[in-house]
Amino acid sequence: MAAARRITGASPDAARAIRSHRLLFGDWHPWLRDPLDLLRLAFLVGAILGLALGDGETAVRMALTFLVTLAARRLDLPRPLDLAVIVGMALQAFGNAFGLFNQPWHYDKVVHFVLPAAVAPTVYVLLIRLDLVPDLADRRTRAHPAGIAIVTLGLGMTVGVVYELYEYFAVNVLHAGLHVGYGDTIGDLLDDGAGSLIGGLLLMVWQSRGWGSVRRVHAPTR
């Protein structure tokens, strides 16, 4: 404790607060930055377990989900958005693995709302990184916030269509036990649109606060 006090120049309580803050928000290591990276590893473990159990569809789904969360990490997303992506991906990946989509309480509607609400803003940030749209902190015109919501909605709908194509591939190639039909697909796309719109509106709020699109490393005051 004396060493911590010498290093930080703070009281014992302040030193503990700094260590706790670093545990949650600081960068531990380039390969394992914070608790969000620990959550990401759960998909890799799921892929290995699916492969070991001979469940090819689960192994492929978990592996692809792990790669998507790694891509989100590469974008250096703001922490709340990064967490939202991981949660949304967990709902779809583990929901399929444990058969939750077949439950009568419309688990699929929850997933098709939450996942686009997280993924659509993430794709928007990808466009920022590619210099195809202005950064969130760069308010150029009065119409910019509305443009953020409209573009995010379109991106989310596109991702939803791609996911429905994957479901067709999973059923017909990987022999997954998924319920796929015209009515189900249209309902999923409607839910995708609603979630994407909410994601776009939240991104508008984020932009209105003047916050940027990059993950921040907090440095607590000593």
* 10 phi-psi bin (left φ>0, alpha ψ -120 to 50, beta other): beta
Q: What is the pTM of this model?
A: 0.79
Structure confidence by residue, pLDDT tens digits, 71-105: 999 999 999 999 999 999 999 999 988 888 777 77
CA distance 119 to 158: 11
Looking at residue 5, what is its pLDDT? 45
Mean of the per-residue pLDDT values for the chain?
A: 84
Residue with the bigger pLDDT between 86 and 145: it is 86
* 103: three-class secondary structure by DSSP: coil
Looking at residue 137, what is its pLDDT? 76
Looking at residue 118, what is its pLDDT? 95
Burial class (CB in 10 A: 0-12, 13-18, 19+), 205: exposed
Residue with the bigger pLDDT between 219 and 36: it is 36
Domain ranges of the chain: 11-208
